Amino acid sequence: MLLQPPGQYLCFVSLMVTCLSVYINAQNRVPIDLLPHCDGQHDALEDLFTIVPGLSALKRASTSHPYEGRLLRRFSGPFSDNIPLPWTCSMTPIWRDLGEDYYPRFVRDGTCNNRTCWYRHYECQPVLYTLSVLERQNSECFDQSLPRTLSTAWRQRAVTITSSCMCHRV
């Protein structure tokens, strides 16, 4: 036996599925044994429109275009992880060896994989970062900004590395 819903149970079209699940499951207005079991041939939501009185009229009012619901379901999800976004530029990281006279000896650098982005209207450009490293010195000229124990053998040196790649208009 189907229980009648109390007065106002219709919601806005966008909240219809949520309202139905709250109405049926949380309120226990419709006995669970009367709910249709999906056998793979019917949509469970379509069966709910036939069980609860008055919902078929709301369904007809909510679908004004035959492709509207299909396009909304297909394109309303988040972006795919497999397809790169058109404004992204990928980078291949590499470890650059500065030599024995530098500390740290290896720094992480990179090269941009793509030359163009955003449908070939923009270009992928490297984002440069200046890194301070220590260089071993054998000369008499020392940097006075370092502590005294380090200033006898090392000095600071700026090394430019590529930290990422960015889609940029040229």
Instruction: Give Rg (Cα) of the chain.
Output: 32
Instruction: Give the pLDDT of residue 82.
Output: 77
Can you give the pLDDT of all 170 residues of the chain as single tens digits?
444 454 433 333 333 443 444 344 444 444 444 444 444 444 555 555 565 555 555 555 555 555 555 544 555 556 667 787 888 999 999 999 999 989 999 999 999 999 999 999 999 999 999 999 999 887 555 667 777 666 667 889 999 999 999 999 97
Instruction: Give the pLDDT of residue 79.
Output: 64
CA gap 84, 8 in Å, rounded: 46
pTM across the whole model: 0.46
Which residues, 6 or more positions from 154, have their beta carbon under 8 angstroms from its beta carbon?
Answer: 103, 134, 135, 136, 137, 146
CA gap 33, 24 in Å, rounded: 12
Instruction: Give the pLDDT of residue 102.
Output: 93
**Per-state percent for the chain, helix, strand, coil, to nearest 5:** 25, 30, 45
Domain-wise residue ranges, the chain: 94-108+127-168
CA-CA-CA-CA torsion sign (42, 48, 52, 53): negative
Coil vs helix vs strand at 92:
strand
CA gap 134, 140 in Å, rounded: 16
Q: How does pLDDT run across 150-164, given as a tens digit for each residue?
A: 666 788 999 999 999
Kindly report whether the peptide bond that precedes residue 36 is cis, defined as omega within 30 degrees of 0.
Answer: no
